Amino acid sequence: MRSKDHEVKLVEEYSLWHGRVSGGEAVSTSLREPWHLTVARLLPDLHGQRILEIGCGRGDFAIHLANQYPGARISAVDFSPAAIELARSKAARSGTIVDFAADNAESLSFENCSFDFAWSTSLSRFVWQRKFIGFCGREENLS
């Protein structure tokens, strides 16, 4: 089991990493990452839907979805406040509306059934397996 101090250290390291790799990162209107391309291809029509992306990083996929489905309400969370600030900046520069927030995927602050669709394209690499199994059950309850 991870301690609170360990979690704080992880958030700090991840936030520093985002700061290093983002250096002047441009807002992109097209997807580059293979996991984003795969998920985008599999999604149904999201117009008018409430969407949650968990583990959004610097916001590329959420911004893409907001541009593709302007009638959808897109929320995106990441546990790194630095990543969220970078995502908000990108969204503002592109004129895109996404509700970005720092939140913990292992204990999300949203009410159950708050979203029509919820997913994460890469979170299972970072959340402990036992926690992720429980999280997947919660994700099913969000729709």
pLDDT tens-digit map of 75-106: 999 989 999 999 999 999 999 999 999 998 87
Select from 34, 29, 91 the least CA-distant residue to 58: 91
Listing DSSP states for the chain in one string gives ---HHHHHHHHHHHHHHHHHHHTTPPP-SS--SHHHHHHHHH----TT-EEEEES-TTSHHHHHHHHH-TTSEEEEEES-HHHHHHHHHHHHHHT---EEEE--TTS--SPTT--SEEE-SSGGGTS-HHHHHHHHHHHHHH-
| Residue 131 banded pLDDT, cuts 50, 70, 90 | very low
Predicted confidence band of residue 72 (pLDDT cuts 50, 70, 90)? very high
Distance between CA atoms of residues 115 and 49, nearest Å: 8
Predicted structure pTM score: 0.74
What would the pLDDT profile of 41-63 be if each residue is shown by its tens digit?
888 999 999 999 999 989 999 99
Bigger pLDDT: 114 or 69? Answer: 69
Mean pLDDT of 137-142: 39
Residue-wise pLDDT for 22-40, tens only, equals: 666 666 667 888 888 888 8
User: For all residues of the chain together, what is the average pLDDT?
Assistant: 78
pLDDT of residue 25: 66
